[in-house]
Amino acid sequence: MLVLPTVFQPADIPPWQQRMRPLMPVVPSPECFPAQAVQPVGRREQEPVIDPLLVAPHYDAHPPPLQWDVAEHPNYIQLGSVGSPGARELLHSDLASCAVRKSANGSPLLLTRLTLVFPGLPFMVEINPQDRPVWTSTPLPYLTVGDVLYGLYKALRLSVGRREFDSLSRARRELVSRAFERRLASDRRNYDNNMRHGVRNIDYLGETRRFIGLRPAVGSEIPPGERRGEAFIVKLASVR
């Protein structure tokens, strides 16, 4: 029987997932690391520039820069394509890179918040600087790659309220319920905790959880109240 929370629950991260693998601390540069534009050449001066670790490849045949099932804690992200001899863990310097610049024309304006959009799904994620991030000992004047990765993970672990669940179409409720049941079956060690929290945002994604990257939202993709260059589409693919 499907169990739903009666109230909105905060993000819950199991203690076993909270440990950060030992990494050498670094002092990040206040400047953005080199990033690549995500639109055709003629529009680069207007488009935001996404860090190479976060940007979605232009072509589906190109592998994404990160190996990440978004159901897994960001501590376990690998940099590099599957089977690549150069694959490695993310370093503090990777996480401290600025996530997005507002344009590719050398603008010093760096984003301090952004919104992640999941096309066809009834929720969005607002990304703000993390409290006490492990990748820097001093506050940074921009959103970092780490802010985006850890913020996305925490948001996907938030519980879905009963009213929101009941407002879904019958077909969507069935899909989400099946994803919830698969998650319960795949994580027996945390079964009781997962039952207590019920359906989470991650269950909206089903098996489409492999992180491909971000691209700027355009036109009708931009949510009401958001400005162009501050909303981004999350591209995902099947984990199977």
Given a cut of 60, whether residue 13 has pLDDT beyond it is no
DSSP 101: E
At residue 26, the pLDDT reads 36
Domain boundaries, the chain: 34-158+206-237, 159-199
Q: Which helix (H) or strand (E) holds 193?
A: helix 191-197
At residue 81, the pLDDT reads 66
Given a cut of 50, whether residue 225 has pLDDT beyond it is yes
**Under DSSP, is residue 37 helix (H, G, I), strand (E, B) or coil?**
strand
Comparing C-alpha atoms, which of 96, 95, 94, 114 is closest to residue 48?
A: 114
Number of Cβ atoms within 10 Å of the Cβ of 77: 20
- Residues forming a β-bridge with 8: none
Given a cut of 60, whether residue 193 has pLDDT beyond it is yes
Q: What is the pLDDT of residues 41-92, one digit of tens each?
A: 445 556 899 999 999 998 776 889 999 999 999 999 999 765 555 678 899 9
Give the global pTM.
Answer: 0.80
